[in-house]
Structure 1
Amino acid sequence: MKEASGLLARVKDRRGLDEVWRLLPEARLVGGSVRDLLRGMPVHDLDMATPDAPADVLSILKSGGIKTIPTGLAHGTVTAVIRGEPYEITTLRRDEETDGRHAVVSWTGDWAEDAARRDFTINAMSLDRHDVLHDYFGGLKDLADHRVRFVGEAGRRIEEDALRALRFFRFDARYGHGEPDAEACQAISERLDLIDALSAERIASELLRILTGPRVVETLSVMKDVGLLAHLVPASDIQALHRLLVCQAPEEALLRLFALCHVDWSDLGERLRLSNADRDRLRQYGENTPVLDPAMLEDDLRRVRFRQSLPILLDRSWLTQASVLGVPDKGWDRLRTRLQHMPQPVFPLTGQDAKDAGLLPGPIMGAWLKAGQSWWLEQGCRPDRKACLMHLAGASELREKSD
């Protein structure tokens, strides 16, 4: 089906597109760029498809003076760089073999065949240089009806790539409305074993995007009902996440992930193959020390500010607020403001001070600095360098050890 669209007028800068179309006149805008143009949303990635073979695309673009990068030739993708902006151009494909994770593809000149291998109808539309919209599977109506459907048979699409089960819920949360497509949910519930073959990294990427998208609690509840959530995170607490959202905590993926999985967080980072930095954040959330309280005195506040980074303290304040209250609270808001306005305390003594005091590097120097820091913390991180040195000079036990 072809329809005049007027969509190209919504492209902020058409010069790059026009250069591609000058050399590849049969190419079309595809996928998310078309979907978002239809929704009147800003489009940042102008992805294109073409019936031309990848080697021909490279040759044609190069001969036309356009910088090219063979970003994914095995899957038919070439990136054209025009005025510093990338344009991904992929040759029309058909799937020859699929195993639920990867596909062996071959090239085709049939636009409908290429569209048939895409995931959802709203992602299967294309737009040509004449501003004509090509919609083979009713994506335009589904977009207008706020309905996310798989292209063709839902079960077959999931068997081609099991990650589409997660992508369905991410897209439904953003573009759908009301009850998710029943055929899709049924197909997902019958193919949960395919999820186990996916890499943890791919699962984590989709899950974290779901957690920062719209309708989070509603989406996760349906995922739980079809059995998918338990395959991703065996122990989940949607109500705890809901309490965090009610507190109006930041839309931060790892924060929401911990709230959802706080019951069994200890191996969460390993299970999802998160970065070491993210695993460390989860550990600090889980250990939940030092304890935070809106009524903390300034000395206590300086101590926690010294012991832990500001971002971790703020995150932990939201998690604690959600746990103990589960509603917005001015006291917790004031605590966060106090933390943000408080300069990071810095212990004023260094190893050089220890050397100047006649201590050689080693256990005695470490004990000297540790004793000074402990006293400094007891005093609310207020003593300056001179006061710390005076205190240590009068510490008989340390003086005897240094002798």
Structure 2
Amino acid sequence: MTRPSGLLARLNDRSGLDELWRLLPEARLVGGSVRDLMRGVPVHDLDLATPDYPEDVQKILRAGGVKVIPTGLAHGTVTAVIRGTPYEITTLRRDEETDGRHAVVAWTENWEEDAARRDFTINAMSLDRNDVLYDYFHGVEDLAAHRVRFVGEAGRRIEEDALRALRFFRFDARYGDGAPDAEACQAISQRLTLIDTLSAERVASEFLRILTGPRVVQTVTAMKDVGLLARFLPAPNVLSLQRLLACQAPADAILRLFALCHAEWDDLAERLKLSNADRDRLRLFGQNVPDLFPDMTDDDLRRARFQQPLPVLLERSWLRQAHVLGEPDHGWTVLRQRLERESQPVFPLGGNDAKDAGLVPGPAMGKWLKAGQAWWMQQGCLPDRAACLAYLSSVSEKTET
């Protein structure tokens, strides 16, 4: 189906695009850029497809004075850079072989054949330089109906790339409305073992994006119902996630992941091969130290600020609020405001103070400083350097080994 669209008029600046079309007149905008133009939302990446072979695309662009980066020649992709803006250009393709993870592709000049290998109908539309929209699989109607459907047979699309099972739920959360497509859910439930062939990193990347998206509880529940979630998260705590959302906590993927899996975060972190930074955050959430509660005294507050960085305390406050109450407030907002107003306490003694007290680097010095810090914290992190030295002198800690 083709139709005049008027979509190009929605671009704030199409000068770079016009320059590419002058050199590659058969190219078309494809995928998410077309979908977002139709939705009337800002388009951040303008991706194009062309029947020209990648080697020819590079020659044509360079001859026209355009910088070209061969970002993915094996898949027919080059990136053109015009006045600092990148444009990804991919040669039309068809799949020759697929194994659920990778595809062997061949070039084609058939636009419908290229569109047929895409995942969802709303991502399979294209737009040419004359503002004509090409829609081979009824993506226009699906987008208007807030419906996410696979192109062609859902089962076949998943067998080509098992990650599409997760992508389906991510796209359905963002662009769908109501219950997910029944054919897609059935196809996913019948091919769950394919998920096990994916790398942990690919699964984690897609799932973390799902967790930051809209309708997250409905999406996670739908994934649980078809058996998909159990492939990497056997016992999700959906109620805990609901309580976190009820508190209006930030839409942070690791925060929401911990709410879902707090009883098994260590195993899940290993299973998904999460980054060290993400594992560290989960570990701190799991320790729940220092404890946080709305009626903390000023001394408790300073001790907490000394023990952990402010961002971690704020994140943990949301989890604690959800765990204890699951209510929007009950003093937690005030607690976070107090934490943010409180300056970072700094223990006033250091190695030079220990040396002045006659200690040499080693266990005795460490014990001396540790004793001073423990007393300083007991006093609400308020005593200054002189007071800490006076305390240590009075208890003669410097003489112990």
TM class by shorter chain equals over 0.9
Match of 1:278 in 2: 278
Match of 2:189 in 1: 189
Match of 1:162 in 2: 162
Q: Give the letter for the 2:271 counterpart.
A: R
TM-score, normalization: structure 1? 0.98
Match of 2:77 in 1: 77
SS at match of 1:320: helix
Match of 2:302 in 1: 302
Deviations 1:120-153, CA, capped at 9 Å, x for gaps: 0000000000000000000001000111000000
Aligned-pair distance for 1:388? Answer: 1.1
Work out whether residues 72 and 78 of structure 1, in 8 Å CA contact, stay in contact via their aligned partners in 2. yes
- C-alpha distance in 1 between matches for 2:60 and 2:283: 53
Q: Give the letter for the 2:298 counterpart.
A: E
Aligned-pair distance for 1:72? Answer: 0.5
Q: Give the letter for the 2:191 counterpart.
A: R
Q: Give the letter for the 1:316 counterpart.
A: R
Work out whether residues 232 and 271 of structure 2, in 8 Å CA contact, stay in contact via their aligned partners in 1. no
Work out whether residues 232 and 268 of structure 2, in 8 Å CA contact, stay in contact via their aligned partners in 1. no
- C-alpha distance in 2 between matches for 1:222 and 1:304: 39
Work out whether residues 186 and 226 of structure 2, in 8 Å CA contact, stay in contact via their aligned partners in 1. yes
Match of 2:399 in 1: 400
Q: Give the letter for the 1:79 counterpart.
A: T
Work out whether residues 118 and 124 of structure 2, in 8 Å CA contact, stay in contact via their aligned partners in 1. yes
Aligned-pair distance for 1:271? Answer: 1.1
SS at match of 1:227: coil
SS at match of 1:65: coil
Aligned-pair distance for 1:210? Answer: 0.8
- C-alpha distance in 1 between matches for 2:376 and 2:277: 29
Q: Give the letter for the 1:322 counterpart.
A: A
SS at match of 2:263: helix
Deviations 1:215-246, CA, capped at 9 Å, x for gaps: 11111111111001111211101111011101
Q: Give the letter for the 2:398 counterpart.
A: R
Runs of 4+ in structure 1 deviating by more than 4 angstroms, as ranges, are none
Aligned-pair distance for 1:175? Answer: 0.6
Match of 1:230 in 2: 230
Match of 1:90 in 2: 90
Identity of paired residues, percent? 74
- C-alpha distance in 2 between matches for 1:285 and 1:268: 14
Aligned-pair distance for 1:393? Answer: 2.0
Match of 1:115 in 2: 115
TM-score, normalization: structure 2? 0.99
Match of 1:153 in 2: 153
Aligned-pair distance for 1:97? Answer: 0.7
Work out whether residues 127 and 133 of structure 1, in 8 Å CA contact, stay in contact via their aligned partners in 2. yes
- C-alpha distance in 1 between matches for 2:390 and 2:80: 67
SS at match of 1:266: helix
- C-alpha distance in 2 between matches for 1:162 and 1:117: 14
- C-alpha distance in 2 between matches for 1:400 and 1:161: 68
**Residues paired across the two proteins, number:** 401
Match of 2:207 in 1: 207
- C-alpha distance in 2 between matches for 1:324 and 1:280: 23
- C-alpha distance in 1 between matches for 2:399 and 2:91: 79
- C-alpha distance in 2 between matches for 1:181 and 1:92: 28
SS at match of 1:394: helix
Alignment of 1:192-341 (within 5 A): 192-341=192-341
- C-alpha distance in 2 between matches for 1:387 and 1:82: 64
RMSD value, Cα: 0.9
- C-alpha distance in 1 between matches for 2:25 and 2:314: 53
SS at match of 1:148: coil
- C-alpha distance in 2 between matches for 1:305 and 1:100: 48
Deviations 1:51-74, CA, capped at 9 Å, x for gaps: 000111111111110111000001
Aligned-pair distance for 1:358? Answer: 2.0
- C-alpha distance in 2 between matches for 1:61 and 1:227: 48
Match of 1:351 in 2: 351
Aligned-pair distance for 1:401? Answer: 3.0
Deviations 1:7-56, CA, capped at 9 Å, x for gaps: 00011110110111011000000000000000001001000000000111
Match of 1:20 in 2: 20
Aligned-pair distance for 1:293? Answer: 0.9
Aligned-pair distance for 1:119? Answer: 0.0
Unaligned segments of structure 2, at least 5 residues: none
Work out whether residues 236 and 263 of structure 1, in 8 Å CA contact, stay in contact via their aligned partners in 2. no
Aligned-pair distance for 1:356? Answer: 2.0
Aligned-pair distance for 1:294? Answer: 0.7
Q: Give the letter for the 1:141 counterpart.
A: E
Q: Give the letter for the 2:266 counterpart.
A: S
Work out whether residues 364 and 398 of structure 2, in 8 Å CA contact, stay in contact via their aligned partners in 1. no
Match of 2:2 in 1: 2
Deviations 1:64-110, CA, capped at 9 Å, x for gaps: 10111000001010000101010000000011111101111111111
Work out whether residues 21 and 27 of structure 2, in 8 Å CA contact, stay in contact via their aligned partners in 1. yes
SS at match of 2:373: helix
Greater CA deviation, 148-157 or 355-364? Answer: 355-364
